[in-house]
Chains A and B, each alone.
Chain A
Amino acid sequence: MNVFQTILILVFAFLAVFAETAFPAPRLWLGAQIDLLPALMIFAALNSNITTVGLLAVFGGLWFDSQSANPLGITILPLMAVGFPIFLQRDLILRGLPFAQFVLGAVASVLVPTLTILLLLNGGTQPLVGWGSLWQWIVMTVGGAVATPVIFEVFGWCDRALGYQPRSETSFRADREIRRGSNKLEK
């Protein structure tokens, strides 16, 4: 856990938002665009510190809203609302298991758009919501769920390739070495 990981998470969020706006293939094929920010928030909440979670919520939300017709800043709160409870309870979560990552990714991918739409409706704007939104929710949930273990794997690889490796500790200490035959009492 270091600054490098925080920067990497933010760069990934930036690229994810860019990919969502520039490559509309999922929307053309599946009828909905898959959002990667909730999956990334799960990774940050389980593996990083609270500062990274906050920065991801603020910058990820701002980047997403700047490319969307959403009011600027409205996605910040749903991202934080998902990331913060998971961060607080992360010691109770088997974060290394891909199934746990999958389930958390699915939950986050449902909650973030739902909370965003609730905030939009509360703010008086009228988003395009109908029965077809159910299908979009399913696509986003499955997409986010599948993306979460993949993100864990990608960041794990980046960490192994670019990050500091833990130093291998031994129980040997030079100052406590017993030298045979040399510990004679001084006279």
Chain B
Amino acid sequence: MFKQKNYLALGAVFVVAVLILSLPTSATSRLKLVVSSWFLPLFGLADAAQQLPADLANTTLPRSELLQQITSLRRENQQLQAAQLQTAALTRENDQLRTLFGWQKQAPWKLTLARVVTRDPANWWRTVQIDRGTRDGIAVNMPVLTADGLVGRISSVNFTRAQVVLIGDPNCRVSARVDSSTHDIGILTASGPLDPSLVDLSYLTGGANLKSGQIVTTSGLGGVFPPGIPIGKIVDSQIVEYGLATEARVKLNANPGALEQVWVLTNPQLPL
């Protein structure tokens, strides 16, 4: 009788697991949302606890230092305004040229700032969750970047939060272009589980002209990432597949292991 109860419990757990695993994707994502929402109060508390030292430090900051910061920020603001004027002139010129050639006009990027709230507890995925969701206009496959460069794309989204799959995860493949004389194009894939800032650039042609330090940007191919977003730099390369292809290691500009704030590109304009 005692043993029978144990095996009944084992069977019940097995049935529950199989039932959950065999649910349709939409039901699973809804259930995942419900279960993950249980953690929201704890995340609120953790945010408040993390914010507390910063608030305390702000209250004790001397007035002279604050004035110095204001002066430096004003100077930086003037420089940025001047740069913006120059950029606006270049944009106008670019638009006129695109009209002359009959090309599609490029819309300015709309960026939504988001904070990284959690990281994947499993060591075999590279994902983070951000505090923006569908209520903020976030949708699946939107590119996610920092000031340093591309970090990934939105893989799933709910009302208040979204999951970002980072470059280096097997589920995030990016078509990338090397800033070389031949403009070689390859696919960024996962490198290894230990160093998140190193990824592999595969499927390059055998005669690719790669050197250490060359800049890698998005190519715009693949229908997810717009062209020209910086990704990283070539570290080294090797010939593979009996000389038919080249593979390179790329050091990412943005360190995925130390992300705190990211930008979501909510109007990625892709080349036709």
> Interface residues of B, CB < 8 Å — how many?
49
B194 near A135 with CB under 8 A, answer yes
One of B7-15, B68-76, B137-145, B210-218 contacting the partner: B7-15
B127 near A69 with CB under 8 A, answer yes
Among B13, B155, B170, contact of A58 (Cβ-Cβ < 8 Å): B13
Counting CB contacts under 8 A, is A156 at the interface?
A: no
Secondary structure at chain B's binding surface: helix, strand, loop or mixed?
A: mixed
* Bound CA span A76–B169, Å: 23
Counting CB contacts under 8 A, is B171 at the interface?
A: yes
* Bound CA span A133–B127, Å: 17
Which partner residue on chain B sits nearest A73 by CB separation? B20
Question: Which residues of A are found within 8 Å of B17, using beta-carbon distances?
Answer: 58, 61, 73-74, 76-77, 80
One of B35-43, B96-104, B177-185, B240-248 contacting the partner: B35-43
Which residues of B are in contact with A by a Cβ distance under 8 Å?
Answer: 5-6, 9-10, 12-14, 16-17, 20-21, 23, 28, 31-32, 35-36, 38-39, 42-43, 46, 117-127, 129, 155, 163, 165, 168-171, 190-195, 257-258
Question: Which residues of A are found within 8 Å of B122, using beta-carbon distances?
Answer: 33, 64, 68-70, 113, 116, 127
Question: Which residues of A are found within 8 Å of B117, using beta-carbon distances?
Answer: 22
B192 near A131 with CB under 8 A, answer yes
Question: Assuming A17-B121, A64-B121, is B127 touching A80 (CB within 8 A)?
Answer: no
Among A64, A74, A132, contact of B21 (Cβ-Cβ < 8 Å): A74
A69 near B163 with CB under 8 A, answer yes
* Bound CA span A65–B38, Å: 13
- Mask of A23-55 contacts with B, CB within 8 angstroms, 1/0: 010011001110100000000000000110110
Among B5, B39, B123, B195, contact of A133 (Cβ-Cβ < 8 Å): B123
Question: Assuming A18-B39, A51-B9, A69-B163, is B118 touching A128 (CB within 8 A)?
Answer: no
The smallest C-beta distance from B252 to any residue of chain A, in angstroms, reads 15
A20 near B121 with CB under 8 A, answer yes
B13 near A67 with CB under 8 A, answer no
Beyond A15-B42, A66-B35, A73-B21, 4 additional contacts (C-beta under 8 Å) are A68-B127, A69-B169, A74-B21, A130-B192
> Interface residues of A, CB < 8 Å — how many?
56
B169 near A21 with CB under 8 A, answer no
A67 near B120 with CB under 8 A, answer yes
* Bound CA span A63–B38, Å: 9
The 5 closest A-B pairs by CB, nearest first: A73-B20, A132-B194, A127-B124, A20-B121, A66-B35
Question: Which residues of A are found within 8 Å of B118, using beta-carbon distances?
Answer: 21-22, 67
Question: Assuming A28-B257, A136-B194, is B125 touching A128 (CB within 8 A)?
Answer: yes
B258 near A66 with CB under 8 A, answer no
Question: What are 24 inter-chain pairs, A to B, with CB distance below 8 A?
Answer: A18-B46, A21-B120, A21-B121, A22-B117, A22-B118, A27-B257, A54-B10, A54-B13, A64-B122, A66-B39, A69-B171, A71-B21, A72-B21, A72-B35, A73-B21, A74-B21, A80-B10, A113-B124, A128-B126, A128-B170, A128-B190, A128-B192, A132-B193, A133-B193
